[in-house]
């Protein structure tokens, strides 16, 4: 199952029909996906399931109905274990951005983190999950698929938020401050920290 966020509301892509009552179920083959997205953006639907019988094909079918934008981003730690956050559009976020044509996803992720925060000397330590969300650009809805990587750096100089991208702050947050920041963040960013916590428990 995939979880796509539309205006921070979950749209589940599934090949199973669960016995629940608090969501609306749509058939992927016949749904007008733009109408569904508009309803979710306008708070008329808070949670929905898109059903397609073949789980391996489900994302491909969605991509046929809505243009896709590929992006890369980083969950970055410094040597003190602090986490790199940006503040944009009134919310805490992680640095990320769209890939250039032909650019490798790892290179894109490092470049975007550097551009948005001014950090240098990034090393990728592991690949994290992808996140999915729908956004509107030039009157058209698109599905952004963001590839996330855990990164480390010894960078200690001043961070420089990329003002032209609307970033007001780029800061290192101490581990104990991260949970507070996540209260004013996006659902797909919270997913990354859930994954990190699960991994740390396993260790």
Segments of the chain assigned to CATH 3.90.79.10: 68-202
Does the structure show a pLDDT above 80 at 43?
A: yes
Q: Which of 21-30, 33-42, 190-199 has the lowest average pLDDT?
A: 190-199
Closest C-alpha among 170, 169, 158, 144 to residue 6: 144
pLDDT category of residue 36 using cuts at 50, 70 and 90: very high
pLDDT value for 202? 36
Angstrom distance (rounded) from CA 155 to CA 146:
24
Q: What's the distance, CA 145 to chain centroid? A: 7
Closest C-alpha among 117, 183, 119, 189 to residue 148: 189
Does the structure show a pLDDT above 50 at 134?
A: yes
Provide the whole-model pTM: 0.90
The pLDDT tens digits for 138-196 are: 889 999 999 999 999 999 999 999 999 999 999 999 999 999 999 999 999 999 998 76
Query: Which residues make Cβ contacts (< 8 Å) with residue 59, sequence separation at least 6?
Result: 2, 13
Does the structure show a pLDDT above 80 at 198?
A: no
Pick the CATH number of 68-202 from 3.40.50.1220, 3.40.50.2000, 2.60.15.10, 3.90.79.10: 3.90.79.10
Does the structure show a pLDDT above 70 at 199?
A: no
The CA-based angle 90-96-101, given to 5 degrees, is: 135
């Amino acid at each position: 199952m995939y979880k796509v966020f539309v205006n921070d509301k979950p749209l589940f892509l599934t090949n199973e029909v669960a016995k629940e009552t608090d969501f609306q179920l749509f058939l992927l083959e016949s749904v007008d996906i733009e109408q569904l997205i508009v309803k979710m953006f306008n708070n008329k639907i808070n949670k929905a399931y898109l059903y397609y019988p073949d789980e391996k094909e489900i994302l491909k079918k969605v991509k046929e109905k809505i243009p896709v934008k590929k992006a890369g981003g980083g969950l970055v730690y410094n040597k003190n274990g602090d986490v790199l956050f940006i503040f944009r559009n009134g919310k805490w976020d992680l640095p990320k951005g769209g890939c250039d044509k032909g650019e490798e996803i790892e290179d894109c992720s490092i470049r975007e983190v550097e551009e948005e925060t001014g950090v240098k000397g990034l090393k990728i330590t592991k690949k994290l999950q992808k996140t999915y969300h729908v956004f509107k650009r030039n009157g058209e809805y698109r599905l952004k698929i963001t590839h996330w990587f855990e990164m480390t750096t010894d960078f200690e100089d001043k961070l420089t938020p990329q003002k032209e991208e609307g970033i007001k702050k780029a800061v290192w947050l101490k581990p104990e401050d991260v949970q507070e920041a996540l209260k004013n963040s996006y659902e797909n960013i919270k997913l990354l920290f859930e994954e990190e916590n699960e991994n740390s428990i396993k260790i």
